[in-house]
Structure 1
Amino acid sequence: MGPLVEPVTSAERLPPQADVVIVGGGIIGTSAAFSLAQRGVNVALCEKGHIAGEQSSRNWGWCRRMGRDPRELPLSVVALRLWNEMHQLVGEDVGFRPAGILYTCDDDAAVGRRETWLKLAGDYALDTRMVAGAELERLLPGSTRKFRAALYTPSDGRAEPQKAAPAIARAAARRGATILTQCAVRGIETAAGRVSAVVTEKGRIACGSVVIAGGIWSRLLCQAQGLRLPQLAVRASVMRTAPVEGGPETAAWTPHFAFRKRLDGGYTVADGSANRYDIVPASFRYLADFFPVLKLEWKHLELRFGGRFFEEWGFSRRRSPGEISAFEKVRVMDPAPVAHQLEHARRALEQTFPVFKGVAIAQQWAGLIDALPDTVPVISPVDKLPGLFLATGFSGHGFGIGPGVGHLVADLVTGTKPVVDPSPFRYARLIDGTRPNPYTGV
């Protein structure tokens, strides 16, 4: 079972009309709803389960600029600014603390990769720097390992995934947005060649624009519209500990484990590198798209064939808007955590930081990351269908850049000058023969 997420009260009635309908109540959808509502746009958000029920509450909680793909850096700067203002913006504490993040280096090769990123980041590096020696030991008190060095960003931070998207959704509702939970979107209607409405399990909402921000479910909704979206799902496992006295304040990544402190005094912990990929029918359809990134990440992925193949086979069947959809059959995707990956991370953490020895593991869970072939999201209008916008494929980066994405989505939908250049995130790159270019710097 996933972590306990703060509740959000659903609107009692389905609105007959909205300017914009957002599909998906994770960090991306709620941030977009909030940004649109701030601008006075009549927006409705439809979530098939509960707000932040899937990956938006199951991630590490890191809010970082450091180590980003250079294409994401401008947007991550916007996001960090918004995270720093979030308490004031939404009127609630979402747990954001600029406690810093470290990427440790065991050898000169790792140091070289981090230094290369610093050069690529240029002015976007801001306060990021390499640290070593006594300064690194101070940032990682109690460590039994002497790391060669680390890339360090003091202004990067952490927030609480179980609090953030719900707080943003509640703030959006206070500004006039309609937040609908247990309300799956079954399909999108068109008229005169553009979006005209969404059909939900509770009825129809007329609208001029639709934003698909459904995480791993976005591909199915696009498929129903005849749109090709080469998106697959990667299973990432996480655990949280009971409170720990004397642990590090700064979040850190190593090849074997990663951690960050929580508001409750415990720690969120994961394997630093390993994830599992469950083979599904779409794996074969998009094999050529993902081949470049598979070559890069092969040693970090566990491939498995099992029940998810047949589950997704059933999801892919075309249904009429009057039928119960796959989105209703699975209100919250709740995959089992990969136990041996978490045990590996726990052992490595205890060996490096003895303060964690014997600390109880309070909970373990897994989530599915929506991944694209070049590991860069699509945040874009769809030229083929005016009024349709996509915000998906965040490849494990969505929580940290979520507030910035919401701002950019609102810009695109309203025709405002974009807060950053949106061209790296265009949908067309996924269907026009552009060769996927996954970032290899870190």
Structure 2
Amino acid sequence: MTTKTTRVVVVGGGLIGTWTAFFLVKRGWDVVLIEKGVVGAQSSGVNFGNLRLQGRHPGQYPLSLRSQAIWEEIEGLIGDRCEFERTGHLYVAMNEAEQEKLEQHARVAEGHGLAIERIGRDELRRRWPWLGEGLQAATYSARDATANPRLVSLAVARAAQRLGAEIVEHTRVTEVRRNGVGFTVETDTGLVVDCNAVVNSAGAWALAIAEAFGETAPMFAAGPPQFVTEPIPYQVVPSVQAVDGSVIFRQIPRGNVIFAGYPRTAADPVLNRAPVPPNKTLSGMRNLVRIAPFLRSAQVIRVWSGIEGYLPDMLPVIGESETTPGLFHAFGFCGHGFQVGPGVGAVLADLIVDGRTDTPIAPFSISRFRNAVQVSDKLAHEFDAPAAPGGRAG
């Protein structure tokens, strides 16, 4: 058995955990990050890579905009650009009802200071002639961006290590318990860490820690079916998303087109599997060709998904435990964690170091699950019926 002492233990080496460790150690706090596998191997490393500002829940905008500002400075912060590119985001509608949804999203975004451009059918085809003729309208946000998820968590972890953080991989946390005013964290490798604070950023596996301290949330595991095509001539600069969520795609400068789309598929956090049924890929290909007909003959070369935690209101849990001072939760990001990850890390560092944050996070309190929460319309729309739970699963 090896015992050590630190100020903060971060449980989970995804994007949330690594950014939290980075901002804490940057502010002079000792940090040990413990990851059950390897850093960035779960949803943080296999997601679509979209840094989308359009279409967010109103309560997420302050956090999302803080996060985007960090993304825009990523190379100066961690010494690696991670293929961050301000590509813009094109939100497209097929009919009048979808156009009205676009307008609703645009008004909310503009209310938080985001510049949104409205584009009619004719101009849409003129500016992006590769789009399908069935599209009626779109909104465009030039500040939206993309980055490579396979690179980011590792790069942030390396930057945190250079500043003094300790990263421990292939080590599963088996118990977190109170130890006076602090905590003792035990692992399956015999490592025991005494600390002042614990950050629970264990993704789809985070409920075990929350429930050990008398808290819970109706979280379940799922993941978006994704695929990538062979390289083809580069022409799609913005990230493109259908407002109904059936198509989300972008092209990287190497030529490959990356696709994600709803409904999401089931995932198994126990067996650590997120299989994609073949019908999901075929349906996604058909939907993609409706939006971008030029991809009709493109060959799909790889299919995958990830294990993500979802909550019924499609909002994450972020903030200090309601039962246990010094325990901080950050999980259940419902497929939105990549964009907000840097902002969440900065907010958690605020809370731990300063005891407060200027970024509003009240909508994300775990205490909201003491009573029934309003189920998001997105649940029914973005998930297959068997995957959308009435209560907790996973």
Aligned partner of 2:144 in structure 1 is 156
Of 341-350 and 171-180, more deviation after overlay is shown by 341-350
Q: Is the 8 A contact 2:206 2:331 kept in 1?
A: yes
Deviations 1:311-346 (A, max 9, x none): 85xxxxxxxxxxxxxxxxx6xx23211221121111
Tell which deviates more after alignment, 244-253 or 90-99.
244-253
Match of 1:275 among 261, 264, 268: 264
From the superposition, tell whether residues 439 and 72 of structure 1 become closer, same or farther in structure 2 (CA, over 3 Å): farther
Q: Which residue of 2 aligns with 1:51?
A: 39
Alignment match of 1:435 (pick from 353, 368, 373): 373
Q: Does 1:86 align with 2:74?
A: yes
**Matching residue within 62, 71, 74 for 2:50:** 62
Taking structure 1 as reference, are residues 104 and 44 closer, same or farther at Cα in structure 2, changes over 3 Å only?
Answer: same
Partner residue of 1:260?
A: 250
Q: Kindly indicate whether residue 311 of structure 2 is the aligned counterpart of residue 372 of structure 1.
A: yes
| CA distance in structure 2 between the partners assigned to 1:439 and 1:348 by the alignment | 21
- Identify the match of residue 346 of structure 2 among 397, 407, 419: 407
Is 1:119 the equivalent of 2:107? yes
Is the Cα–Cα contact under 8 Å of residues 11 and 199 in structure 2 kept in the other structure? yes
2:127 & 2:66 partners in 1: Cα distance?
A: 26
Asked if structure 2 preserves the Cα contact closer than 8 Å seen for 1:31 and 1:406, the reply is yes
Secondary structure of the equivalent of 1:72?
Answer: helix
Q: What are the equivalent positions in structure 2 for 1:40-439 lying under 5 Å apart?
A: 40-192=28-180, 194-202=181-189, 203-254=191-242, 255=244, 256-271=246-261, 273-277=262-266, 333-431=272-370, 433=371, 435-436=373-374, 438=376
One-letter amino acid matched to 1:435:
V
Distance in 1, Cα, partners of 2:29 & 2:336: 27
- The alignment of Structure 1 onto Structure 2 pairs a total of residues equal to 377
Structure 2 distance, partners of 1:86, 1:159, is 10
Q: Once superposed, what is the RMSD of the aligned Cα atoms? A: 2.2
Report the alpha carbon displacement of residue 348 of structure 1 after superposing the two structures with TM.
2.9
- Contact 1:100-1:157 at 8 Å conserved across structures: yes
Determine the C-alpha separation between the residues in 2 that align with 1:380 and 1:435.
18
Contact 1:139–1:248 (8 Å) recurs in 2: no
In the superposition, the TM-score normalised over structure 1's length comes to 0.80
Instruction: Return the alpha-carbon distance in structure 2 between the equivalents of residues 88 and 368 of structure 1.
Output: 31
Mark the CA change 1:84 to 1:156 in structure 2 (over 3 Å): closer, same or farther: same
- CA offset at residue 439 of structure 1? 6.5
The alpha carbon displacement at 1:129 in A equals 2.6
In structure 2, distance between residues paired with 1:352 and 1:336: 25
Residues 65 and 439 (structure 1 numbering): CA distance in 2 closer, same or farther, change over 3 Å? farther
Q: Distance in 2 between matches of 1:210 and 1:132?
A: 50
Identify if the C-alpha distance between structure 1 residues 122 and 355 changes in structure 2 by more than 3 Å, giving closer, same or farther.
closer
Q: CA deviation at 1:212?
A: 0.6
* 251 and 32 in structure 1: CA distance in 2 versus 1, 3 angstrom threshold: same
State how far apart, in whole Å, the 1-side matches of 2:315 and 2:37 are: 26
User: Is the CA contact 1:52–1:165 (under 8 Å) kept in the aligned structure 2?
Assistant: yes
How far off is 1:141 after superposition?
3.1
CA deviation string 1:254-306 (max 9, x = no partner): 243210123532121122x211346xxxxxxxxxxxxxxxxxxxxxxxxxxxx
Q: CA shift at 1:42, angstroms?
A: 0.4
SS across alignment from 1:364: strand
SS of residue in 2 equivalent to 1:367: coil
On the 8 A contact 1:140/1:250 being kept in 2, the answer is: no
The answer to whether the 8 Å contact 2:7/2:29 transfers is yes
Identity %: 30
Residues 158-216 of structure 1 deviation map (CA, whole Å, 9 limit, x = unaligned): 11110111111111111111111101111112123x44221112310110100010110
CA contact (8 A) 1:139 1:250 kept: no
Contact 2:265–2:276, Cα closer than 8 Å, also in 1: no
Alignment check: 8 A CA contact 2:175 2:185 kept: yes
The runs of 4+ residues in structure 1 deviating greater than 6 Å are none
Distance 1:99 1:139, change over 3 A: farther
Structure 1: gaps of 5 or more residues = 1-12, 279-307, 313-329
Q: Structure 2: how far apart are the matches of 1:360 and 1:85?
A: 35
Give secondary structure in 2 for the equivalent of 1:179: strand
Matched residue of 1:71: which SS? helix
Alpha carbons of structure 1 residues 173 and 419: separation in structure 2 relative to 1, 3 Å: farther
- Separation of aligned partners in 2, 1:196 and 1:40: 20
C-alpha contact (below 8 Å) 1:160/1:263 kept by paired residues: no
Question: In the TM superposition, what whole-angstrom CA distance separates every residue of 1:215-252 from its partner, at most 9, and x where no partner exists?
Answer: 10001232344432221112321111221204311111
CA distance in 2, matches of 1:351, 1:147: 9
1:55, 1:34 → 2: CA distance?
Answer: 19
